[in-house]
């Protein structure tokens, strides 16, 4: 089964201030890397514009309105200390959402075996009614709901290996037993949530790791906590909130993962998807701020996805 890759040039037109880590060059680095020969058979598609109504799967109308109203006609506007919007930000967000929802459609229709979506802005910090941490809308949460509403998925699992805890995804599904949220992340670190005892209605599995934890601790957390939770939950779809900022080169954190860790983690989640979810696996870009660490990690991730 083929691996699909969605992105869109307008996702690079969501602008952030000079020196901001979440910048358009991130997508340029990824697209350039995936142009290399090993990816000749990767099926590249432009992300379609998402349906605005699907934002309401995860956020109330007033949040959607507030983000739309915040978009400036020119220049940049600030939503919080580190979250900004520019004239194309709403369109970029709709493309990130459209790519995520299309990826879900693809794995349910059998058009693709698995899919990686490189959109911006990222999503996992966006809470029900709050944009924060570079995120406006929660792409993974919307895609999970889209799988439930459009494709009749009963249970969806989101595995988040971004170095930061996905407080937004946890917030949205806190009391929803139909969605399992599993996260490995550095603690202490922004946004401060993600302790082991934050368990929702038994559907939240947090595996915080101390600074400097490294590869072995990551693999142990997946093996001991995340994979058994997936077995118990038996999801119809696995979504990866794929941040690559736990890479040792990344400037924002200190988990010190190696590039190969993302190959390994992709492989073990593919095995789970094959056994539990008819292979359905959708991966959405979250963080990753060192361009070399990011592009090498994405290459490892997508290379493994393509091995089927």
C-beta neighbour count of 123 within 10 angstroms: 31
Binding residue for Zn ion (CB under 5 A) from 162, 171, 263, 290?
A: 162
Binding residue for Zn ion (CB under 5 A) from 98, 99, 208, 243?
A: 243
| Cβ atoms of 22 and 134 closer than 8 Å | yes
Catalytic residue status for 125: yes
Residue 165 DSSP class: -
Closer to Zn ion by Cβ: residue 192 or 228: 192
Q: For the window 246-285, what string marks contact with Zn ion as x by the rule CB under 5 A?
A: ----------------------------------------
Q: How far is the CB of 246 from Zn ion (least distance, A)?
A: 8
Residue whose C-beta lies closest to Zn ion? 287
From 240, 241, 256, 239, select the one nearest 290 (Cα to Cα): 256
Binding residue for Zn ion (CB under 5 A) from 166, 287, 293, 303?
A: 287
Binding of residue 120 to Zn ion (CB under 5 A): no
Q: How far is the CB of 22 from Zn ion (least distance, A)?
A: 9
234-to-76, 104, 157, 230, 238 alpha-carbon distances in Å: 44, 17, 8, 6, 10
Binding residue for Zn ion (CB under 5 A) from 106, 171, 236, 245?
A: 245
From 179, 16, 44, select the one nearest 102 (Cα to Cα): 44
C-beta neighbour count of 289 within 10 angstroms: 23
Question: What residues contact 77, with CB distance under 8 A and at least 6 apart?
Answer: 70, 71, 84, 85, 86
Catalytic residue (one of 63, 125, 146, 164): 125
Binding residue for Zn ion (CB under 5 A) from 4, 120, 164, 185?
A: 164
Q: What is the dihedral of CA 214, 218, 220, 222, to 10 degrees?
A: 180
Task: Tell me the window of 15-23, 158-166, 263-271, 292-300 that interacts with Zn ion (CB under 5 A).
Answer: 158-166
Q: For the window 212-241, what string marks contact with Zn ion as x by the rule CB under 5 A?
A: ------------------------------
Rounded CA-CA distance 211/182 in Å is: 19
Q: How far is the CB of 274 from Zn ion (least distance, A)?
A: 28
Binding site for Zn ion (CB under 5 A): 162, 164, 243, 245, 287
Active-site positions?
Answer: 125
């Amino acid at each position: 089964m083929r691996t699909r890759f969605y992105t869109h040039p307008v996702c690079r037109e969501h602008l952030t201030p000079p020196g901001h880590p979440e910048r358009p060059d991130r997508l340029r680095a990824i697209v350039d890397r995936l142009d290399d020969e090993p990816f000749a058979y990767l099926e590249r598609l432009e992300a379609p514009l998402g349906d605005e109504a699907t934002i309401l799967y995860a956020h109330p109308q007033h949040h959607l309105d507030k983000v739309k109203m915040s978009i400036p006609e020119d220049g940049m506007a600030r939503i919080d200390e580190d979250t900004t919007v520019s004239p194309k930000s709403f369109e970029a967000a709709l493309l990130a959402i459209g790519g995520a929802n299309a990826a879900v459609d693809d794995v349910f229709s059998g058009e693709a075996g698995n899919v990686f979506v490189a959109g911006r802005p990222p999503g996992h910090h966006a809470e029900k009614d709050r944009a924060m941490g570079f995120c406006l809308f929660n792409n993974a949460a919307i895609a999970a709901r889209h799988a439930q509403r459009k494709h009749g998925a009963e249970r969806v699992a989101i595995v988040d290996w971004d170095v930061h805890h996905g407080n937004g995804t946890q917030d949205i599904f806190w009391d929803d037993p139909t969605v399992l949220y599993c996260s490995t992340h550095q603690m202490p670190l922004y946004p401060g949530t993600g302790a082991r005892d934050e368990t929702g209605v038994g559907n939240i599995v947090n595996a915080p790791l101390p600074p400097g934890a490294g590869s072995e601790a990551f693999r142990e957390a997946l093996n001991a906590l995340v994979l058994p939770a997936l077995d118990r939950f038996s999801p119809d779809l696995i979504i990866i909130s794929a941040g690559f900022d736990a890479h040792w080169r990344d400037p924002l954190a200190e988990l010190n993962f190696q590039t190969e860790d993302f190959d390994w983690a992709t492989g073990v989640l593919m095995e789970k998807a094959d056994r539990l979810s008819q292979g359905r696996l959708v991966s959405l870009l979250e963080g990753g701020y060192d361009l070399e660490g990011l592009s090498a990690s994405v290459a490892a991730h997508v290379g493994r996805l393509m091995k089927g």
